[in-house]
Structure 1
Amino acid sequence: MSNLDRMLRNRWIQLVGIVLIGVISFSLSGAIEGLPIARFLAPQAAVAQRINPDNVWRTVYQNLPDLPLENQYIRKDTGKVDPDNTLVGRFIRYHVYLKGRPPFYRLDWKMTLADYLGVNGVMEESTYPSHDTLRKNPLEGDIAAIDRLNRAQRDALVQALVDAFSPQKEGGR
């Protein structure tokens, strides 16, 4: 690498650094609020903190009452069925906590559906949500339940999840 190449590379790195610092400073100052780029730079993690992923499953089932609950599994500690440990609850926990995917975008939820349908990688029983709190690991039953959904039901599930996690815009949606 010649001296000229090194100098240009260093200048490029400096320029990128300055631009990043400017964007971060600009966004922290609140000056970008209202601009179209604001939605891409806004800290959406703050929204996720206000919306508890562990409670969103109830909203999804209210909107899609025909969705299978898959909540017949027995807890190890009590020996009783846990009615709040549902398919959608585990689906959300897998998506948000295990895979670390944002809950705001359809594509990310579709990737999680693809995981369940076996076309986007292997799901591990040893890390699946509730594997350690239920007597029987629900992974196999959850995969079968998602597989039984038709395309329209899967699309409705994805939309219900995105809607449940999306912040409501002023003046309604």
Structure 2
Amino acid sequence: MKQNLWRNFAKFSVILALALVVGGDRPPAFAQTRQAIKDAEDVYQLLPNFPQENQYISQDSGEIASQNTLVARLIYYHIYLKNRPPQYRFDWKLTLADYLGANETILSSRYSGTRTLRDNPLKGDIAIIDRLTRQQREELIQTLVRVFNPNIDNNNQDSSSPLPDNSESQPNSPNSSGDRRFPKPGDAQLLL
């Protein structure tokens, strides 16, 4: 009898511990949300006319959650839900493709603000991203990359700088004479 009681107690303790470990993500999620808000503020400083979409009501206080912005939710989704690196343009393009319905489906039950706001902001966020022009999306992506990789301007080479001339190191190359030959229609047939 006592042995069964102890087994049940041990099982209950293990289940409780697992529930706390798996379901007890409140402090890290809060910290992640705070970081996303800080990063979003940096984006809004660089893009002051970008829609904030911060009119949603907090479940806890009943007041407008003004720090819960579209960019904060976008950053949270990108980094913490999809685990995509924030310093690459391609990954941000994938995230915007998610919002446009062209890549992965965004689960509304896991979207940022679902647990903290009275109304789920996902549909409104998708509508805003959908209304952006291609140029506005590119500006958003470039700004996000710049916020998460401040040295991006130093890493990119100036496109007006000349390409290195390798003709001296390869005397038998087709371009060794100095004149550059560009392909013409039908040149691919020469490969056969």
TM range (shorter): 0.5 to 0.7
SS of 1:67's equivalent in the other structure is coil
* TM-score, length of structure 2 as denominator length: 0.60
The aligned residue for residue 143 of structure 2 is 160
Q: How many residues align?
A: 122
Query: RMSD between aligned alpha carbons?
Result: 2.0
- In structure 1, stretches of 5+ residues that fail to align are 1-48
Deviation at 1:172, TM superposition (A): 10
Aligned match for 1:74, one of 49, 53, 57: 57
Deviation string, structure 1 residues 51-91 (Cα, Å, up to 9, x no partner) = x4431101111111111000000000000001100000000
Deviation string, structure 1 residues 17-41 (Cα, Å, up to 9, x no partner) = xxxxxxxxxxxxxxxxxxxxxxxxx
Letter in 1 for 2:123: E
Letter in 1 for 2:124: G
Letter in 1 for 2:108: E
Conserved in 1, the CA contact under 8 Å of 2:36 and 2:73? no
Asked whether 1:135 is paired with 2:118, we answer yes
Letter in 1 for 2:148: F
- C-alpha separation between the residues in 2 aligned to 1:62 and 1:54? 12
- C-alpha separation between the residues in 2 aligned to 1:109 and 1:141? 19
- C-alpha separation between the residues in 2 aligned to 1:92 and 1:153? 17
The aligned residue for residue 104 of structure 2 is 121
The aligned residue for residue 186 of structure 2 is none
Percentage of identical aligned residues: 54
The aligned residue for residue 48 of structure 2 is 65
Letter in 2 for 1:65: P
- C-alpha separation between the residues in 1 aligned to 2:139 and 2:155? 20
* TM-score, length of structure 1 as denominator length: 0.67
- C-alpha separation between the residues in 1 aligned to 2:145 and 2:155? 16
- In structure 2, stretches of 5+ residues that fail to align are 1-31, 157-192
SS of 1:125's equivalent in the other structure is coil
Aligned match for 1:54, one of 23, 26, 37: 37
Greater Rg by CA:
2
Deviation at 1:156, TM superposition (A): 0.3
Letter in 2 for 1:55: K
SS of 2:109's equivalent in the other structure is helix
Deviation at 1:122, TM superposition (A): 1.1
The aligned residue for residue 95 of structure 1 is 78
| Cα separation, partners in 2 of 1:65 and 1:106, compared to 1, 3 Å | same
- C-alpha separation between the residues in 2 aligned to 1:110 and 1:123? 15
The higher relative CO (CA closer than 8 Å, separation ≥ 6) is in 1
